[in-house]
Amino acid sequence: MAVPSEAALAGAVHRRVTVGKIMMYVVLVLLALVMLVPFAWMLSASFKLNKDVFTFPIQWIPQDPHPENYINIWKQIPLLRFIGNTAFITVIVTLLQLFTSSFAAYAFAKLRFPGRDALFVMYIATIAVPWQSYMVPQFIMLRSWRLNDSPWAIILLQAFTAFGVFLMRQFYDGVPDELCEAARIDGLSEYGIWAKVMLPLSKSALSTLTIFTFVNTWNDFLGPLIYLTTESKKTIQIGLRMFISQYSTEYGLIMAGSVVVLIPVLIVFLSLQKYFVQGIATSGLKG
């Protein structure tokens, strides 16, 4: 019986690996297409009248498109004001979270003080507590500070995040302590080390946190619903509810508004996506 040569065995192994990669790519492409179906339906529905939105089978390309939906959304509600309010809250919250999370993470990762690990565990444990469980006392507290019906109530609540501290600390743990020691020998204070050593090295982690924070704040619905009552202060997610009346819902306009609202999120993600995978891999969030 002939014994296969090493070249034949290597070729067989190479073919199996190639087939495995092809199958993996096919599965990933199919999963990506499945995830894109709702977005494709939203885009298609944004060019339809209400009576055509839920027709079955779905008409992915409308026979009678109505691009005027994208004009009517600016006329029927103050969409520009809502987008401006949302952008104001989102930008400030994102900047504050980047500052507070990276600052606290540096202390938890590189400074030594009594009770550091216990304090970190207790702080991170707050992630497991659902917001709905302390939503009412939080509202009462902010109302006593006269911050109800103010965007600063939402900004104050979201300026600190245990998730951001965890993400940044996991990254800082991978930075050699020798860099910090060398900076201290050169005369840098802890603030200087954080600003001149740690932040420049953490672009990937900061970009990842920026994406998470921006998306979550931009899409926040419950917070603005609770704290903002004046129409001129409402965010875009609350503003889209104005297309829903007691007797009818203008789904075509809602979908058109949703497409417009999605654009800033796409811009932020596409601008930072080259750092996103690297940030996930280096921040301890791998699956």
Give the whole-angstrom CA distance, residue 88 versus residue 92: 6
Percent of the chain with pLDDT over 90: 22
Contact 213, 97 (CB under 8 A): yes
Q: What values do phi and psi take at 24, rounded to 5? A: -65, -45
The model's pTM: 0.83
251-281 residue pLDDT tens:
888 889 889 999 999 898 888 887 766 655 5
> Shortest CA distance to 278 belongs to which of 202, 175, 212?
202
Q: Examine the pLDDT at 21 and tell me if it is beyond 90.
A: no
- Give the Cα separation of 105 and 194 in Å (integer): 10
pLDDT for the residue numbered 9: 54
Distances (CA, A) of 149 to 142, 155, 223, 225, 226: 10, 12, 11, 10, 9
Mean pLDDT for all residues in the chain: 85
pLDDT number for residue 131:
84
pLDDT band, residue 285 (cuts 50/70/90): very low
The answer on pLDDT for 183 being more than 90 is no
pLDDT at 118 over 70: yes
pLDDT for position 252: 87
Share of the chain above pLDDT 70, in %: 89
What is the model's pLDDT at position 246?
57
Question: SS3 string of the chain?
Answer: CCCCCHHHHHHHHHHHHHHHHHHHHHHHHHHHHHHHHHHHHHHHHCCCCHHHHCCCCCCCCCCCCCCCHHHHHHHHCCHHHHHHHHHHHHHHHHHHHHHHHHHHHHHHHHCCCCCHHHHHHHHHHHHHCCHHHCHHHHHHHHHHCCCCCCHHHHHHHHCCCHHHHHHHHHHHCCCCHHHHHHHHHCCCCHHHHHHHHHHHHCHHHHHHHHHHHHHHHHCCCHHHHHHCCCHHHCCHHHHHHHHECCCCECHHHHHHHHHHHHHHHHHHHHHHHHHHHHHHHHCCCCC
Give dist(CA 26, CA 14) in Å, integer: 18
What pLDDT, on a 0 to 100 scale, did the predictor assign at position 88? 95
Give the tens place of pLDDT for each residue, 77-110.
898 999 999 999 999 999 999 999 999 999 998 8
Token output for 135: 């939503």
Report the pLDDT averaged over residues 218-245. 88
pLDDT of residue 141 exceeding 60: yes
Give 36-72 pLDDT, tens digit per residue: 888 888 888 888 888 888 877 878 888 888 888 898 8
Q: Look at residue 200 in the predicted model and tell me its pLDDT.
A: 87
